[in-house]
A and B are shown apart, each in its own frame.
Chain A
């Protein structure tokens, strides 16, 4: 028992502790001194290692703390509204800052509907783009096209909004909405006055904004499908499209679904562009031509102007709802994408 601390394995056998350093060997005393000490780690280098490790662990803890802090602050600040309205907050349609009565249903409705419209437009286009980039596109066009898609992601939200107000909305009013009303008006989704802006415009803007993210993750997922699957399908005589649908899309389905949900997460939280084109009216209307309101745009519009504490608190609770929804949506998406790529590093940099 007592001898254990004295005897360290790997030490002292080849390199006796004291005498070697005194010998005038050609290797030089420093070298002999240095090598055995470093091998077991000097106290200083161990200390430095620990400090460095401590620093990077601290950084990581800061990430955890930030998310915790966001949750805590939202919960803390919305306390007033939660205790006053309870769960009814989520299902009430009233939004009256003067009477200090608040319900978030029109905003939740607007958020979900505008996101769904966005997904309906964006999903086919972005999956198509991803398939084109990975399977069809000639090498030379590929890098240019993927750069273009990336640039689409880099355009700021507020510029999408600016373009939405002055270009997209008039275009929708003059060319798209009359067409939709004429041929699809019977669905009830495309009726009523044609302003241009409104739920439909918000959906289109959201679609353009989430295209790149869905396309790039779908691309990653498709690339992760093993080559042999494609070769097997082709060897059985499948045409290219049959190969894509049988071997590629079927295998990549959960991952593509994950990419779509990730896009949904982005769509739900999209703020500025939506605020600028959706019309900002807390109504639940069937028609997509009608104006609407989303959780995020209500926060952006009213937060700096809210005077009463309960109004601020209600907006905070909407942020909390938004935070929790996006957290769940993103976690789900992450799991689905991971199930295909198995944590393979993304190809974004390649």
Chain B
């Protein structure tokens, strides 16, 4: 048998193996905290999970029982009101960027949206405080929604832009060629084709803001009772977790873990659903 023309020295073989091994190890290590955290939340959270926890309001410190029904409702309300601000502005900006934004102004908007995405949530919370709480004179659900709504805009707009750009140009041309005006083309053809993708972008934004607590501390503030009034302070799951976690009582800690379990399940379901729709709907609609 002829000798191979090119041989790899032992040293190079070894360093190759070592490097590839380390890379694989890094990937393995990264998954460890996920399983640790999910495992702990499940293990410690299941204990205090019962129907009362989901439907009752907190009992005073020291008393057994009570729940976080008002915080769950509050979180849902905050998400709802925030999307009233975040969804139209986010989708509108996304449409602008994809359909009209191939120019300098578009680049400025793109850059600013990215900048807004990078602004720490606590800073956005302070702005909402200065804008709404100071003006109104008290904490409110509305103030919290403004903070969360602002945070939704860049997430939705950049993802919407991406999904709209996946819609083939020929579809737009076909619609315009039939004499349909541009606005109609965008609304009924482009947006409809990309609708699954836009829904996923909204869900992505939900997943991002659902766990936010820092901006709510000085906007929605928290509430020990049921409240659905936009003008009143409202409880939220993340903030409730924080409050219970820093209390020195075991019972409060147990409740914090249960609340964490509920919050994390809500978010995980959203994210996995997002992946599912993104791999099915957005791809199919576009092609």
**Distance between Cα atoms of A53 and B123 in the complex (Å):** 31
Interface mask (A155-179 → B, CB under 8 Å = 1, otherwise 0): 1111111110111000000000000
Cβ contacts under 8 Å, A262 to chain B: 118
CB of A52 within 8 A of CB of B183, answer yes
**Known interface pairs A70-B123, A157-B212, A167-B36. Does A49 touch B179 (Cβ–Cβ under 8 Å)?**
no
B186 on interface, CB distance cutoff 8 Å: yes
**Chain A: which residue is nearest B106 at the CB level?**
A60
B278 on interface, CB distance cutoff 8 Å: yes
**Distance between Cα atoms of A136 and B120 in the complex (Å):** 35
CB of A56 within 8 A of CB of B27, answer no
Cβ contacts under 8 Å, A59 to chain B: 88-93, 95-96, 157
Interface mask (B105-148 → A, CB under 8 Å = 1, otherwise 0): 10011011111111111111011011100000000000000000
CB of A155 within 8 A of CB of B123, answer no
Cβ contacts under 8 Å, A57 to chain B: 96, 100
B25 on interface, CB distance cutoff 8 Å: yes
Contact of A345 among B23, B112, B162, B246 (CB under 8 A): B162
CB of A56 within 8 A of CB of B126, answer no
Interface centre among A60, A151, A155, A350 (most CB of B within 10 A): A60
CB of B37 within 8 A of CB of A241, answer no
Contact of B181 among A41, A149, A242 (CB under 8 A): A41
**Distance between Cα atoms of A58 and B100 in the complex (Å):** 12
CB of A327 within 8 A of CB of B118, answer yes
B199 on interface, CB distance cutoff 8 Å: no
CB of A156 within 8 A of CB of B92, answer no
Cβ contacts under 8 Å, B186 to chain A: 52
Q: Least Cβ distance of B88 to chain A in Å?
A: 7
CB of B271 within 8 A of CB of A154, answer yes
**Distance between Cα atoms of A162 and B242 in the complex (Å):** 8
**Distance between Cα atoms of A65 and B43 in the complex (Å):** 46
Interface mask (A311-336 → B, CB under 8 Å = 1, otherwise 0): 00001100100110011011100100
B22 on interface, CB distance cutoff 8 Å: yes
Interface mask (A43-77 → B, CB under 8 Å = 1, otherwise 0): 00110110111011111101110110110011011
Interface centre among A322, A345, A349 (most CB of B within 10 A): A349
**Chain A: which residue is nearest B257 at the CB level?**
A162
CB of A161 within 8 A of CB of B118, answer no
Segment among A13-21, A225-233, A299-307 that sits at the interface with chain B? A299-307
**Distance between Cα atoms of A265 and B123 in the complex (Å):** 13
CB of B214 within 8 A of CB of A271, answer yes
CB of A63 within 8 A of CB of B275, answer no
A147 on interface, CB distance cutoff 8 Å: yes
A88 on interface, CB distance cutoff 8 Å: no
A240 on interface, CB distance cutoff 8 Å: yes
CB of A145 within 8 A of CB of B264, answer no
**Chain B: which residue is nearest A53 at the CB level?**
B100
CB of A148 within 8 A of CB of B212, answer no
Contact of B16 among A76, A154, A155, A241 (CB under 8 A): A241
Segment among B5-13, B47-55, B56-64, B66-74 that sits at the interface with chain A? B5-13
Interface residues of B in 192-208 (CB under 8 A from A): 197, 200, 207
A189 on interface, CB distance cutoff 8 Å: no
Which chain A residues have a beta carbon within 8 Å of chain B's beta carbons?
34-35, 38-39, 41, 45-46, 48-49, 51-53, 55-60, 62-64, 66-67, 69-70, 73-74, 76-77, 124-129, 131-133, 136-137, 145, 147-152, 154-163, 165-167, 208, 211, 215, 237, 239-242, 244-245, 262, 265-266, 268-272, 276, 296, 299-300, 303-304, 315-316, 319, 322-323, 326-327, 329-331, 334, 345-346, 348-350
| 6 closest Cβ pairs, A-B complex | A156-B211, A269-B120, A128-B26, A59-B92, A52-B183, A330-B118
Q: List 8 A-B contacts (CB under 8 A).
A: A39-B179, A52-B186, A64-B112, A128-B26, A133-B27, A158-B241, A322-B120, A345-B162
Which chain B residues have a beta carbon within 8 Å of chain A's beta carbons?
6, 8, 12-13, 15-16, 19-20, 22-27, 29-31, 33-34, 36-37, 40-41, 44, 88-93, 95-97, 99-101, 105, 108-109, 111-124, 126-127, 129-131, 150, 153-154, 157, 159, 162-163, 165-166, 179, 181-184, 186-187, 197, 200, 207, 210-214, 217-218, 221, 238-239, 241-242, 245-246, 253, 256-257, 260, 263-264, 267-268, 271-272, 275, 278, 282-283
